Structure 1
Amino acid sequence: MAQHVRDIMTSQLVTVEPQTSVTAVAQKMRDEDIGVVLVTEGDELRGLVSDRDLVVRALAEGGDPDERTVASACSGDLFTVTPDEEVDQAVRLMREHAVRRVPVIDHGHPVGIVSIGDIAIERDPESALGDISAAKPNE
C-alpha cells in the first residue's frame, strides 16, 4: 500500500514574511530548534530558507544581518508536493533537484514540509540518518 506525504510530513510550520531580517529568522530558528522556515506573504508560499541558506547567502555576503531581509537569502525556486501525493513522489523530487526538504501545499497554501529525515525515520529508522533524525536535539 502506498504511503502518502500527509502520513509523514511535519505540519507544525514556522513562517516569516519576506521583509523579516536575517537576524530575526536566525533567532526564530534557534528558539524553535528548527533548520528551515517558510517565507510567506499572507497565506501564499514565496520561498524557503534553511540555516545553511542564512550562512551562505546572507552572512557570507557581509553587511548588517539586522538590515538584510530573508528575501535575499531564501530559495524561491520551490518544488512542492500535496498531502495526497505518494511519498515516492517527494523522494523523486528531492533526488532530481538535490533538495533536503519539500514544502507541502494544499489548495495553494502551505500545510507542511517533508524532509529526508522524515522519510528516513519512516522507511529506515535503524539507518544512521533515521536514528539521528529521530533523536532529541542537542541542548
Structure 2
Amino acid sequence: MNQQIRKIMTSNVVTVNDSQTVQEAAALMSQYNVGSLPVVNNNGQMVGMITDRDITLRTTAQGENPEERVADVMTAQQIVQATPDMDAHEAAQLMAQQQIRRLPVVENGQVVGMVALGDLAVDNQLDNEAEQALSSISTPSAPQK
C-alpha cells in the first residue's frame, strides 16, 4: 500500500532566513532540539539547508565569526527534497541513496514539512525501508587524506 509523505511528515517546520546569522541558526536548533533547518529567502522560498555539522565544520572549525550569514555557511547546491505526494517508500530510498537523515518536503518552493528517518521507522509498513536507509546512511566514509 502506498503512503504519501504528507501523512507522516512533521508540518510545523522551523526555518531560518538566509540573511540571519549562524549564531541565530544555532540558537534555533538548540531551542527546537533539531540538527538541521531549511533555509528560506525573504519570499519564503527554500534556498538551502543548514545543519549543526555545517556550522561546526564551516564556521567553528575554521575560526569564523558566528555573526556570519547563514547564506555563507548553508548547503545550497543540489538540495534533496520530497513533495507531499511522494510515496514514503520512495522517500526512504532517496534518503538511503543520498545518505541523509532528514528530508525537507517542499511544495511550490515553500517548505511544508520535514520527514526524518525516525518518522519512517515508527510506521510498521516502513520500518524495513527505514532500517535499510539507516544502514546506508551509517556506512562509514573513508577518512580524508
Q: TM bucket by the smaller chain?
A: 0.7 to 0.9
Q: Distance in 2 between matches of 1:74 and 1:107?
A: 21
**Which residue identity does 1:118 align to in structure 2?**
D
Structure 1 range deviating more: 68-77 or 5-14: 68-77
Q: How many residues align?
A: 125
SS at match of 1:20: coil
* Runs of 4+ deviating beyond 6 Å: none
Q: Distance in 1 between matches of 2:12 and 2:65?
A: 30
**Which residue identity does 2:60 align to in structure 1?**
L
How much has 1:6 moved relative to structure 2?
0.7
Residue in 1 that maps onto 2:75 = 75
Residue in 2 that maps onto 1:131 = none
Q: Distance in 1 between matches of 2:84 and 2:111?
A: 10
**Where in structure 2 are the equivalents of 1:34-49 lying within 5 Å?**
34-41=34-41, 42-49=43-50
Runs of at least 5 residues in structure 1 that lack an aligned partner in the other structure: 128-139
Task: Quote the sequence identity (%).
Answer: 35
**Where in structure 2 are the equivalents of 1:86-125 lying within 5 Å?**
86-122=87-123, 123-124=126-127
Q: How high is the TM-score relative to the length of structure 1?
A: 0.82
Q: How high is the TM-score relative to the length of structure 2?
A: 0.79
Tell me if structure 2 keeps the 8 A contact 1:58–1:72. no
Tell me if structure 2 keeps the 8 A contact 1:21–1:70. yes
